[in-house]
Amino acid sequence: MGRALTENGRPAKKGRLTTAIRKFVLFAAGMSILYLVAVQGLHWAGFKMIETSTLGRGELKKMYPAGGIIIRDETVITAPADGELVMLVEEGDRVRAGDSVAEIKTAGADPGVPGLSALVSATRTGVVSLGVDGLEGLLKPGQADIFDAARLPESPTRMKGDGSRQLKCTKGQPVLKIIDNLSPLMICVRVPGGLPPEASKKGDVFIVREGRETSGRIVEAGSYDGGTQLVLEVSNYSEEYLSVRNMSMELVGERVNGFIVPSDALAVKDGGQGLYLMDRDEAQWVPVKVDGAVDGSSAVSGADLTPGGRYVINPRWLIFAGD
């Protein structure tokens, strides 16, 4: 049978309603399919955007820039006469008391008359240095006013080892010094930003220079203009500590061990911090304890963490991956 028609030839009202419903159902089904495709596409895209890394144990250090003035046990030797200082040993050599370390050559009184020479002997056992700066008698290990003494401006270097073995000098001029390199030296250190109270109270602190660590013992601590001031006793030091007076350095104020991960990899869930661990293609959130954080990295620990395990470093993309 044909559709019912009105007098003007149009489909009856019931037929029009059925057609509209049929169109709506088809439209809804199409939109549902598009929605499912879009969700699956987002899920796939989100999963592809997930980045992972491997868990590994390590150490985080909180570093504090500082400057220090080195205080050593050193004895200055003066020239016995006017003339030219000729070194008999290399700068940095260790000599014994009484060893000849240099000689002063003087010009003859008249042309053709040979000049004289005077030997310069070590007055103590130690390392020879030409870096006489005038502070040797003012800065001494163990002095009571070490903070005040360390504020003195550095005097111009009177003699400097620059590779030359012949230097002009006058009688009574400090020409070299002997440094006791076997005894501990002191460093008066200033940390402009200040150290945490717990770091300045510890018995030991680590000095970092060009990636190398040297331990020092805090023997005195104070403050100045919002910063921290320390006196460190250093026993095991490299040769560079004997050749400079002022030194730039970093102090290790905090040190924490654990699994080192980017702080952005941590995700809050159920009121706690955690990581998403990967098991094949599945990500599972596990709780962790954050033991410390330094410059965008965190040291974490947890019962579910194992060396070599994979974890998600950009957990925000897990929203699109359907977590």
Q: Could you give all domains of the chain from N- to C-terminal order, each with its CATH number? A: 48-59+258-319 (2.40.420.20), 63-69+184-252 (2.40.10), 75-179 (2.40.50.100)
Portion of the chain with pLDDT greater than 90, in percent:
50
pLDDT at 218: 93
The mean per-residue pLDDT over the stretch 37-42 comes to 54
113 vs 122, higher pLDDT: 122
The mean per-residue pLDDT over the stretch 58-77 comes to 93
289-298, pLDDT tens digit by residue? 999 999 899 9
**Rounded Cα gap, residues 189 and 145, in angstroms:** 14
Is pTM beyond 0.75? Reply is no
pLDDT at 129: 94
141-189, pLDDT tens digit by residue? 877 666 666 565 544 444 444 444 567 888 999 999 999 999 999 999 9
- Is residue 206 pLDDT above 90, yes or no? yes
160 vs 102, higher pLDDT: 102
